Chain A
Amino acid sequence: DAKTTQPPSMDCAEGRAANLPCNHSTISGNEYVYWYRQIHSQGPQYIIHGLKNNETNEMASLIITEDRKSSTLILPHATLRDTAVYYCIGVPHRGSTLGRLYFGRGTQLTVWP
């Protein structure tokens, strides 16, 4: 079962930062916070992940609260191509459910010109 909650939709102006929140107060201590996105009519795409430290890569930044109950995905300069559904998922790196992804409803991000 999905253990994360996200707002169903958000808007963002092109060129501005998009900050997508996720509540994951019930994920276990060995679960990493992963973010995927799904652009219309495509398979989901990995964005970034973290355990308890903030992370940054070429696509985004991930800010995880110290208590690990929530996180924020930041797209620093949103473009029209970032319009997609964004999923926050708790993923263990070991155990019987390794590899299985349980998607919640995600957040539909719409970037407007």
Chain B
Amino acid sequence: SAVISQKPSRDICQRGTSLTIQCQVDSQVTMMFWYRQQPGQSLTLIATANQGSEATYESGFVIDKFPISRPNLTFSTLTVSNMSPEDSSIYLCSVVYQGRANTEAFFGQGTRLTVV
């Protein structure tokens, strides 16, 4: 299992500003991901946070809007840039461990972002 800490747990931000969300894992992990959950919706994968290289973004998400850092195997940040009210969502960090017969994902509690 994994313990994932996200900071902040929630924030209210002014439009046009940026917010950086931190994700700390209690053990080294190769695979780390960022998801977005808009109000009343399911989770959508934003990107894969790659250690030592640029993140891999899913269709519809770009680095300029969601820059990601992954300086080591236990930590990552997601920045939501130039925010607008449409960015109001829960942002979740996830790590995946691959065992012999499973690839289990663990999620942080999320960062609830409200843009006003």
Interface, chain A (partner B; CB < 8 A): 32, 36, 38, 41-46, 49, 85, 87, 91, 93, 98-106
Contacts and interface: CB of A to CB of B under 8 A. Distances in A.
Nearest to B109: A43
A89 to B, nearest CB: 9
A43 B33 contact: no
Given A99-B33, A100-B45, A102-B45, A43 B96 contact: no
A38 B107 CA distance: 10
A98 B45 contact: no
Contacts of B98: 93, 98-99
B107 A43 contact: yes
Contacts, number: 58
Contact of A46 (B31, B42, B92, B105): B105
A36 B105 contact: yes
Contacts of B105: 36, 44, 46, 99, 101
Nearest to A101: B105
Q: Give chain B's interface residue range (CB within 8 Å of chain A).
A: 20 to 34
A35 to B, nearest CB: 12
Interface of B: 4, 31, 33, 35, 42-45, 48, 92, 94, 96, 98, 101-110
B42 A100 contact: no
A103 B94 contact: no
Contacts of B48: 99-100
B102 A101 contact: no
B103 A103 contact: no
A42 B48 CA distance: 21
Contacts of A49: 102
Nearest to B93: A43
Contacts of B101: 93
